[in-house]
Amino acid sequence: MQEAIVAEGLVKTFGSVRALDGVDVSVPTGTVLGLLGPNGAGKTTCVRVLTTLLKPDSGRAVVAGHDVLKNPNEVRRSIGLSGQFAAVDEYLTGRENLRMVGELYQLSGRDAKRRADELLAQFDLADAGDRPAKTYSGGMRRRLDLAAALVVSPPVMFMDEPTTGLDPRNRMALWRVIEELVSDGTTLLLTTQYLEEADHLAHDIAVVDHGKVIARGTADELKAKVGGERVEVVVHDQERLTEATEMLAGFGKGELGVVKLQRRITVPVIGGAKLLAEVIRELDARGIEIDDIGLRRPTLDDVFITLTGHAAETEDGNAGGEGDDEEQSEAAPQRGRGKAVKH
């Protein structure tokens, strides 16, 4: 089987919201697809359709060789899911939770126990293994949830924002676990709001916004979309933003990105340091005051700005920022895109 996951033209509406607006996805067996997008982009809806938890209004999807509408049970037997709809039992201990999942998948009592021990150790939960899950911190729950999804090794895994809200240390630990899983041949579809996470883990990235895939490619291909170097300017005075944008367009070699609220203009350039000096002179001549200016290598964040005109908003409002306090982030609302800056 070449493609472990194929979806064509998925549409899902909730009232007037088109959560999925014609999504095509394909994931070759043994590879990782990163579904990258801001809060409310449609990532979870896509995962729920592909894992048979939700029926699409139209479109088709085949996962691990089975049609999600015609053969949902076969799909369910071939996949693992972890994410925002965690099935951790609060009153059981971490160890009991994992053993229960193992027995659910018909491992023998002994194998279920051994697998639980392995996973507790792998996810740094050995010490907490005999405490009820309800005493766990947000990060510990997240790890238990992931561990539960890995009790049996399904050929196709879905992870919905596995590291959102985790602190950097826990995020790195999870990245290592995920890398190990993938090196064993698992196909993975992972959703994330973190650009550097998709860059780090995914072979291929699909950028999602408003229920549509707006770009697809490797991290390098996406970076190439914004050209090589860019000049980034933060204008001091909101009123001079338009003038500065028009001026910078004259120096640019591609589409400009403007984040109004941050008064930030990004423009792909050729010519590097020499050009930067010219830009500074020109801004100075016009009396446009700046808070920051620099020559930057492209990041995936820039790709997002170029593609959508706004930064990729994370739950806590930082574009691609590091995780905050775990509990707080996990209590943050998952829905709506009130913070997105549109132009």
Ligand X SMILES: Nc1ncnc2c1ncn2[C@@H]1O[C@H](COP(=O)(O)OP(=O)(O)O)[C@@H](O)[C@H]1O
In this structure, the chain runs to a length of 343
β-sheet bridge partners, residue 11: 21, 58
Question: What is the smallest separation between the CB atom of 42 and ligand X, expressed in angstroms?
Answer: 4
Residue nearer to ligand X on the CB measure, 23 or 112 = 23
Question: What is the smallest separation between the CB atom of 39 and ligand X, expressed in angstroms?
Answer: 5
Question: What is the smallest separation between the CB atom of 14 and ligand X, expressed in angstroms?
Answer: 3
Sheet holding 290-296, edge to edge: 257-259, 264-268, 230-235, 290-296
Which residue among 44, 82, 192, 245 contacts Mg ion (CB under 5 A)?
Answer: 44
**Contacts of range 12-20, beta carbons closer than 8 Å, 24 or more positions apart:** 12/42, 12/45, 12/49, 12/54, 12/56, 12/57, 12/211, 13/57, 18/210, 18/211, 19/45, 19/211, 20/45, 20/46, 20/49, 20/56, 20/59, 20/211
Question: What is the smallest separation between the CB atom of 40 and ligand X, expressed in angstroms?
Answer: 4
What is the token pair recorded at 16? 């007037």
Part in contact with ligand X (CB under 6 A); list of ranges 13-21, 58-66, 86-94, 292-300: 13-21
Burial of residue 201 (number of CB atoms within 10 Å: 0-12, 13-18, 19+): buried
Residue nearer to ligand X on the CB measure, 39 or 163 = 39
Which listed option, Mg ion, ligand X, none, makes contact with residue 94 (CB within 5 to 8 Å by class)? none
* Total of chain residues touching ligand X, rule CB under 6 A: 13
Residue nearer to Mg ion on the CB measure, 48 or 95 = 48
Question: What is the smallest separation between the CB atom of 54 and ligand X, expressed in angstroms?
Answer: 8
How far apart CA 128 and CA 141 sit, in angstroms, is 11
Instruction: Lay out the site mask for ligand X across 16-55 (x = CB under 6 A, - = otherwise).
Output: -x-x-----------------x-xxxxxxx----------
How far apart CA 299 and CA 257 sit, in angstroms, is 13
Question: What is the smallest separation between the CB atom of 336 and Mg ion, expressed in angstroms?
Answer: 11
Which listed option, ligand X, Mg ion, none, makes contact with residue 40 (CB within 5 to 8 Å by class)? ligand X
Nearest-10 Cα torsion for 223, 226, 232, 236? -120
Question: Helices 94-104 and 138-149, interaxial angle, to 10°?
Answer: 20
Question: Helices 241-249 and 272-286, interaxial angle, to 10°?
Answer: 140
How far apart CA 116 and CA 338 sit, in angstroms, is 40
Which listed option, ligand X, Mg ion, none, makes contact with residue 42 (CB within 5 to 8 Å by class)? ligand X
Q: Which helix (H) or strand (E) holds 58?
A: strand 58-63
Which listed option, ligand X, Mg ion, none, makes contact with residue 80 (CB within 5 to 8 Å by class)? none
The SS3 call for residue 59 is strand
Question: What is the smallest separation between the CB atom of 79 and Mg ion, expressed in angstroms?
Answer: 18
Residue nearer to ligand X on the CB measure, 45 or 186 = 45
Instruction: Lay out the site mask for ligand X across 224-263 (x = CB under 6 A, - = otherwise).
Output: ----------------------------------------
Question: What is the smallest separation between the CB atom of 233 and ligand X, expressed in angstroms?
Answer: 30
Part in contact with ligand X (CB under 6 A); list of ranges 12-20, 60-68, 147-155, 297-305: 12-20
Question: What is the smallest separation between the CB atom of 85 and Mg ion, expressed in angstroms?
Answer: 10
Q: Residue 184's CB: how many other CB atoms inside 10 A?
A: 9
What is the token pair recorded at 114? 């051994």
Determine the distance from the C-alpha atom of residue 216 to the mean position of all C-alpha atoms in its chain, rounded to a whole number.
14
82 touches Mg ion by CB under 5 A: no
Binding site for Mg ion (CB under 5 A): 43-44
Binding site for ligand X (CB under 6 A): 14, 17, 19, 37, 39-45, 335-336
